[in-house]
Amino acid sequence: MSHINKILVPMDGSPASIAALAQAVTLAEDVEASVEVLHVMAPDDFEVGSATSASPAALEQAEREMEAAFGDAQRVLKDKLNRREVAGEPVRTILQIAADEAVDLIVVGTHGRVGRMHALFGSVAEGLVRNAPCPVLTVRRPESGEESFAERIHGREALSEQARPPR
């Protein structure tokens, strides 16, 4: 594997995207990479995981949480952290920026949905994994309350969650 110099982290304010930023910051520290935080504003703002438009209060809350996460990352990475907001369709926009800017790794949050929920809402993470010009690391917030693939199909926690020390 070649050296990772530039990490792209698409964020939407969801807990999964904030967990992805935390993971990217840790990795960037280890390999001395820079991190680009990207917030793609879709034409219609929807509540994460919903088919209904997000309320102004929900959008403001997501913005506050992204701002706090960015501030935490800034304290660690300093000038190796940048961010921007662009308008567009999330998957296409993220893929275009990754290609244009020779990104070495995309770190993206995922809700880990399967079955009907996945079919209804689609997945930005899946679109990136299938089409990205570079490796994609997906991060699922374990305590999100979403059922993982292992839980749904095999009736047990994912191996990564089994290995976690008890709280």
pLDDT tens by residue, 133-142: 999 999 887 6
* Confidence tier at 50 by pLDDT (50, 70, 90): very low
Calculate what percentage of the chain has a pLDDT beyond 70. 70
Tell me, what's the pLDDT at 115? 53
Q: Which of 42-56, 60-74, 115-129 has the highest mean pLDDT?
A: 60-74
Per-residue pLDDT reduced to its tens digit, 121-131: 458 888 999 99
The whole-model pTM stands at 0.78
Domains and CATH numbers, the chain: 32-162 (3.40.50)
Rounded Cα distance between 139 and 155, Å, is 21
Q: Binning pLDDT at 50, 70 and 90, where does residue 2 land?
A: low
Size (the chain), residues: 167
Taking only the tens place, the pLDDT of each residue in 143-167 is 655 555 555 555 555 545 555 565 5
Could you read off the pLDDT of 79-117 as tens digits, one per residue? 999 999 999 999 999 999 999 999 999 999 987 655 554
